């Protein structure tokens, strides 16, 4: 470990824990004050780390934290993206220790947001502190730390358009993803897109006695189940007509590459406590969870859910349903198909209302030839002493494809989490060894990027032809799925 | 109104409200102390009304209140059945006034249990007070007021077997059903049976991120929806194989009788706020809700059900499902078919556990020729000045078929509720006019029964051949469905 990190590691952890204690759950209106406290704390720490022009900037919903470090016109400008909001912590009673009381066990810090994304975002602030301590970063930096990632970043597109000049950069760097295992690094080369819906089914104007009325009136819970069942076919495929129309077919070479990634169905199954893995017929587990689209119910509720029995026909039933997309599916198109399908299959007698929740995300991919990918690859190779593997993530980071659409720039997804971190689940945690390793790796990324950018060992003053090369690099990245 | 009722009506109402204030929700273990308070209050009032040998008797779960009035060997003995337990009150926020703070509005008392069954059960205590005030009841009475009706009376069968001698009677009288409308009386001539299940579906050992894992792991909420959807076919029939095997086919005459009952689909639809009525193809609304079997989800839950979005694959999902039965379906047989069906359709990857909740109920029916039916018919005709209509109830009162199986006696279902009383739903209420009318009608029932029994105007001392006639009457009641 770098000596500066070694001698400050306790303070870094205590600072992170202070941030983790704030329940900045972006989806819950009750946590608006916590969102503001979290943003203020991130801004304070960013300034302390050496950023200038630090400010908390309003959006339609939760504020963005901005800050920058200006080094030279000759080196590339990196937009560092992260988020300070977290998922809800429920079911809270399934946590070993409370979600907002960060606790260290076995070298891991347990808390909601530990890995997604407070812990990983905070590495960038401490990396900046390290770089400033040693002189200056090898690139110009702009920090964009938002508070709506877990909602699908609904305000960020308008924010980026409004502050287009302020945010202009050559590339984005984000740490909000996972590597292969504690000591095997990886770089996410693709992300799935996301559209999230709520389906509300209404029957009679009141709960009804299931004896007196049963058989003669529509049951919203039965109707909702029929609707949800209609969303898959017997082969595990999404049964919405035209759903697969724009899904790019994987090449043999791509499938062979995916098959080479370290993965064991048996270990995966055991880890999850499953007797059997299921999914779309004809695809492997890794393919199913990264490069194939899928649909899941995220929540369902209606009627009597307490202890014992109650003979009632519920007046309404609800489900939250999300769809993951891959290249070249368009979330706007999929939204239309989903709404039309629900309308078509809605059983008689009930009233069905379907709406999209939060922002949608496009799918995304980055080639391993991209200059940013290579800068990350070299940096990770230095700190992990192993060449990182190209990975496909089944998750979605809506801002990544958005940066590409708005600014025409790619995002390097250099994460330090693990697939076993329980993100979005009880007992979320982050391995502290990789928290510190991340802080050490980030400055190397900037150094590598500046060198690859200028074609010379990093020395800002001698950098030339930077912009031109960046353009070339980014137009080479059209390969969409790995 | 009878002058004694007139001059005591305010006190009767206040006493009922005192009972309604006790949240005696039998299904919820947290309400065990309330169950005991309710039983104690019923026992106290029963004794005050003039019953002897009053006692609160333990069962495996909630206690039974017993009391009796012995008049003469020459008159029949009536077992008066009622229950002091109530359904859960949720969703509590949909009540206009709190469920356990009884409130009178527009001549109705609003509270959980107002009509089902505290209000109707309490009529019998006040009728006893009235009869004692005037001399004595025309029949021997035994009161059996239980606390598990809303659970399907799981302990009562064992209780009745244990106290077979104590409870022996010639007929049962219960007021736990509805009439046609405020001024049109009716007598329930059939009840549906009931089996209630909980289906629990388990996936991975933790909630999972729907991006990282979606597509590769089973989703319990999707699986549960598929299971529930498999329970009906496109014609609104229950799709469990062999489910209809023992359902007795209605005769043309029976269907014609049902069609004559006052009913308007349009009014029913409007009252319930429905655009369309749905159900088993080929049957009318009245048939669907009374003499045809049916299946309803009573509750469903799993995953994230809060505000906003959470991209999670729930580790488990659950549903409560009840099946209503008609003659000659056997709940034990249906339970087997249901469990086998769920096992067969359970999707791969998930673990499904299905269990019956609470006691099951057999279907029941009583002929209009039965002596008990006729005694009730005449009594209601006197107080309502209209001949009561024979009704089929879609609901289940498990003890009614149980009394028939255990004691070989029929139950007269002389209720005073209305189909619009919102029983099992928010804003449950009871029309006070019919609360008082019930108190007036009950003594007439006993008078009529004693007269029909002995073949002479009611005069206990001259009664003869009672037992023999009762036997004849009860063997004539084999017609199972009206």
Q: Token pair for residue A72? A: 């030279």
Contact A214 B324 (CB under 8 A): yes
pLDDT of residue A262: 84
B window 158-197, beta carbon within 8 A of A:
178, 192, 194, 196
* Distance of residue A182 Cα from the nearest chain B Cα, in angstroms: 17
**pLDDT for res A419:** 85
pLDDT above 90: percentage of residues in chain B: 82
**A310, A359, A423, A429: best to mutate for the B interface, most B CBs within 10 A:** A310
∠ CA A272-A275-A281 to the nearest 5 degrees? Answer: 95
Which residue would you say has higher pLDDT here, B153 or A81? Answer: A81
Judge: A28–B307 Cβ closer than 8 Å, yes or no.
yes
Average pLDDT estimate for A360-387? 94
Residue of A nearest to B317 (CA): A300
Distance from CA of A313 to the nearest CA of B (A): 5
List, in sequence order, every residue forming a beta bridge with B201; answer none if it has no partner. Answer: B317, B352
Q: Are residues B182 and B241 in the same domain?
A: no
Mean pLDDT, rounded, for A310-319: 96
Please indicate, yes or no, whether residues B103 and B243 belong to a single structural domain of this protein: no
Q: Omega into A328 within 30° of 0, i.e. cis? A: yes
B172 & B224 share domain:
no
The reply to whether A467 and A391 lie within a common domain is yes
Q: Say whether pLDDT at A470 is over 60.
A: no
Residue A152 pLDDT exceeds 60 = yes
pLDDT > 90: percent of chain A = 82
Lowest mean pLDDT among A115-124, A254-263, B186-195, B440-449: A254-263
- Residues recorded for chain B: 482
Domain end position, chosen among B326, B361, B396: B361
Residue of chain B whose Cα is closest to the Cα of A396? B211
**Is the pLDDT assigned to residue A193 strictly greater than 60?**
yes
Tell me the C-alpha distance between A316 and A319, whole Å.
Answer: 11
**Number of domain units in chain B:** 2
Residue B274 contacts residue B282 (beta carbons within 8 Å): no
DSSP string for residues in A159-198: HHHHTHHHH--SEEEE--SB-SBTTB-EEEEEE-EEEEEE
User: What CATH number is associated with residue B187?
Assistant: 3.40.630.10
Domain end marker among B307, B339, B361: B361
> Do both A211 and A161 map to the same domain?
no
Shortest Cα distance, chain A CAs vs residue B148, angstroms: 11
Average model confidence (pLDDT) for chain A? 92
Q: Is B345 within 8 Å of chain A by CB?
A: no
Closest residue in A to B153 (Cα–Cα) = A309
- Show which of B330, B361, B392 is a domain's final residue: B361
B275 within domain boundaries: no
Range A213-234 average pLDDT: 97
Are residues A350 and A398 part of one domain? no
β-partners of residue A352 are: A201
Q: For residue B335, give the H/E element and its range.
A: helix B331-345
Nearest residue in chain A measured CA to CA from B303: A299
What does the pLDDT read at residue B467? Answer: 45
Segment A176-193 mean pLDDT: 93
Eight-class DSSP state of B114: T
Residue B86 lies in a domain: yes
A20 and A143 in a single domain? The answer is yes
A contacts of B302 (beta carbons < 8 Å): 297, 299-301
The answer to whether residues B343 and B336 touch, using CB atoms and an 8 Å cutoff, is: no
A464 has pLDDT over 60: no
Query: Mean pLDDT across the stretch B166-173?
Result: 98
Nearest C-alpha of chain B: how many angstroms from A84? 16
Considering only the beta carbons, identify the residue of B29, B286, B298 that sits closest to A304: B298
A354-363 mean pLDDT: 88
Half-sphere exposure of B356 (CA within 13 A, CB side): 20
Vertex B147, ends B144 and B153: CA angle to 5°? 85
A305 contact residues in B (CB cutoff 8 A): 299-301, 318, 320
Residue written as token pair 């799925």: A481
- A170 within some domain: yes
Closest chain B residue to the Cα of A290, Cα to Cα:
B212
Q: Do the chains contact at B206 and A307, CB–CB below 8 Å?
A: no
Whose structure tokens read 């006034």? Answer: B97
Least Cα distance to A179 among A376, A365, A6, A313 occurs for A376
Whether B278 maps to a domain, the answer reads: no
Residue A456 confidence (pLDDT): 66
Is A263 part of a structural domain of the chain? no
Q: How far apart are CA B337 and CA B341, in angstroms?
A: 6
B244 in reach of chain A (CB within 8 A): no
**Domain CATH code at residue B208:** 3.30.70.360
Q: How far apart are CA B482 and CA B95, in angstroms?
A: 35
Closest residue in chain A to residue B349, using alpha carbons only? A276
Q: Are residues B451 and B424 in the same domain?
A: yes
Domain span including residue B201: 193-250+291-361
3-state secondary structure of A144: strand
Distance (Å) from the alpha carbon of A160 to chain B's nearest alpha carbon: 23
Instruction: Report the complex ipTM.
Output: 0.78
- Residue range A261-272, pLDDT digits in tens: 789 999 999 999
Cis ω on the peptide bond leading into residue A10 (within 30° of 0)? no
Q: Please check the confidence at residue B212 and state whether its pLDDT lies above 70.
A: yes
User: Is the CB of B210 less than 8 angstroms away from the CB of A296?
Assistant: yes
Tokens of A303: 């009627």
- Write down the pLDDT at residue B477: 30
- Which residues in chain A are closer than 8 Å to B204, comparing Cβ atoms? 272-274
CA distance linking residue B293 with residue B295, whole number of Å: 7
- CA-based radius of gyration for chain B: 23
Chain A CB within 8 Å of residue B282 CB: no
What burial letters (b/e) apply to B329-340, b meaning 16+ CB within 10 Å? bebebbbebbbe
Mean pLDDT, chain B, whole residue set: 92
Q: Is pLDDT at B46 greater than 90 in this prediction?
A: yes
B400 pLDDT tier (thresholds 50, 70, 90): very high
> Taking 80 as the threshold, does the pLDDT of residue A457 lie above it?
no
Whether residue B200 lies within 8 A of chain A, CB to CB, comes out as no
Give the pLDDT confidence score for residue B456 in this predicted structure: 66
A323 & A427 share domain = no
Residues 222-241 of B with CB under 8 A from A: 222, 224-232
Same domain, A92 and A138: yes
Nearest to A213 among B289, B319, B349 (CB): B289
Please give the structure tokens belonging to residue B464: 């003869």
pLDDT in tens, A32-62: 999 999 999 999 999 999 999 999 999 999 9
Residues in chain B closer than 8 A to A296 (CB atoms):
210, 214, 219, 221-222, 313
Distance CA A93, CA A91 (A): 6
Asked if A305 lies within 8 A of B318 by C-beta distance, the reply is: yes
Quick check: is B267 in a domain?
no
Using alpha carbons, select from B472, B414, B465, B481 the residue that is nearest to residue B78.
B414
Of A368, A365, A377, A367, residue with least CA distance to A449: A377
Per-residue pLDDT band for B69 (boundaries 50, 70, 90) equals: very high
Residue identified by tokens 């799993």 is B302
Position A260 scores a pLDDT of 80
For B77-126, write each residue's pLDDT tens digit.
999 999 999 999 988 999 999 999 999 999 999 999 999 999 999 999 99
Find the residue in B nearest to A304 (Cα): B299
A139 pLDDT more than 80: yes
CB B310 within 8 Å of CB A357: no
Collapsing DSSP to helix, strand or coil, B266 comes out as: helix
Residue-level pLDDT at A468: 43
Indicate if A168 and A234 belong to the same structural domain: no
Q: What is the pLDDT of residue A455?
A: 83
Which B residues 312-331 touch A at CB under 8 Å?
Answer: 312-314, 317-320, 322, 324
Confidence of residue A136 (pLDDT cuts 50, 70, 90): very high
Do both B175 and B317 map to the same domain?
Answer: no
**Average pLDDT of the residues in B188-192:** 92
CB within 8 Å: B225 and A424:
no
Angle between helices B466-475 and B371-384 (to 10 degrees): 90
Average pLDDT over residues A200-210: 96
Judge whether A206 is closer than 8 Å to chain B, CB to CB: yes
For residue A258, what pLDDT is reported?
86
- The C-alpha angle A404, A405, A411, rounded to 5 degrees, equals 10
Number of residue pairs across A and B with CB atoms under 8 Å?
384
Instruction: Provide the shortest C-alpha distance from residue B38 to chain A (in Å).
Output: 20
Strand bridging mode B186-191 / A411-413:
unpaired
Q: What percent of chain A has pLDDT over 70?
A: 94
Does pLDDT of A365 surpass 80?
yes
How high is the pLDDT of residue A459?
45
Task: Give the nearest chain A residue to B203 (CA atoms).
Answer: A274
Q: How far is A136 from chain B (nearest CA, A)?
A: 36
Asked if A99 is an interface residue toward chain B (Cβ–Cβ < 8 A), one would say no
Nearest to B425 among A209, A280, A358 (CB): A209
A335 assigned to some structural domain: yes
CB–CB contact A324 B87 (8 Å): no
What is residue B457's predicted lDDT score, i.e. its pLDDT? 66
Q: Would residue B212 count as lying in a domain?
A: yes
């Amino acid at each position: 470990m770098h000596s500066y990190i070694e001698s400050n590691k306790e303070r870094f952890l205590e600072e992170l824990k202070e941030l983790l204690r704030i329940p900045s759950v972006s989806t819950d209106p009750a946590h608006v004050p916590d969102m503001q406290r979290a943003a203020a704390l991130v801004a304070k720490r960013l300034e302390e780390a050496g950023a200038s022009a630090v400010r908390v900037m309003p959006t339609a919903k939760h504020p963005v934290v901005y800050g920058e470090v200006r080094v030279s016109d000759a080196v590339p400008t990196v937009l560092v993206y992260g988020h300070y909001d977290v998922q809800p912590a429920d079911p809270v009673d399934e946590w070993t220790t409370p979600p907002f009381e960060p606790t260290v066990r076995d070298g891991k810090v347990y808390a909601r947001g530990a890995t997604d994304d407070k812990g990983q975002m905070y590495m960038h602030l401490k990396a900046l502190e390290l770089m400033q301590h040693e002189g200056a970063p090898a690139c110009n930096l702009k920090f964009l730390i938002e508070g709506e990632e877990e909602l699908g970043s609904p305000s960020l597109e308008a924010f980026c358009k409004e502050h287009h000049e302020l945010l202009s950069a050559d590339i984005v760097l984000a740490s909000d993803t996972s590597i292969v295992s504690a000591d095997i690094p990886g770089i996410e080369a693709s992300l799935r897109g996301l559209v999230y819906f709520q389906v509300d089914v209404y029957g009679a104007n009141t709960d009804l006695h299931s004896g007196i009325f049963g058989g003669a009136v529509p049951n919203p819970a039965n109707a909702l189940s029929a609707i949800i069942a209609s969303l898959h076919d017997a082969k595990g495929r999404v049964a919405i007509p035209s759903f697969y129309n724009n899904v790019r077919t994987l090449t043999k070479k791509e499938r062979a590459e995916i098959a080479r990634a370290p993965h064991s169905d048996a270990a995966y199954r055991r880890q999850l406590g499953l007797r059997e893995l299921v999914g779309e017929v004809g695809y492997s587990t890794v393919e199913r969870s990264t490069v194939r689209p899928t649909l899941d119910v995220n929540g369902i509720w209606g009627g009597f859910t307490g202890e014992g029995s109650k003979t009632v026909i519920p007046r309404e039933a609800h489900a939250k349903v999300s769809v993951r997309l891959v290249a070249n599916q368009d979330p706007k198109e999929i939204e239309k198909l989903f709404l039309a399908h629900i309308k078509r299959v809605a059983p008689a007698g009930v009233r069905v209302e379907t709406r999209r929740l939060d922002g949608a995300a496009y799918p995304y991919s980055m080639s391993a030839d991209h200059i940013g990918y290579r800068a990350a690859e070299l940096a990770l190779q230095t700190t992990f002493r192993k060449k990182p593997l190209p990975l496909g993530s089944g998750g979605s980071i809506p801002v990544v494809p958005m940066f590409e659409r708005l600014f025409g720039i790619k995002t390097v997804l250099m994460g330090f989490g693990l697939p076993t971190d329980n993100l979005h689940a009880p007992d979320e945690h982050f391995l502290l060894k990789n928290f510190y390793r991340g802080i050490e790796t980030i400055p190397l990324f900037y150094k590598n990027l500046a060198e690859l950018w200028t074609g010379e060992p990093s020395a800002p003053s001698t950098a030339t032809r930077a912009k031109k090369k960046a353009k070339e690099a980014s137009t080479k990245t059209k390969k969409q799925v790995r």
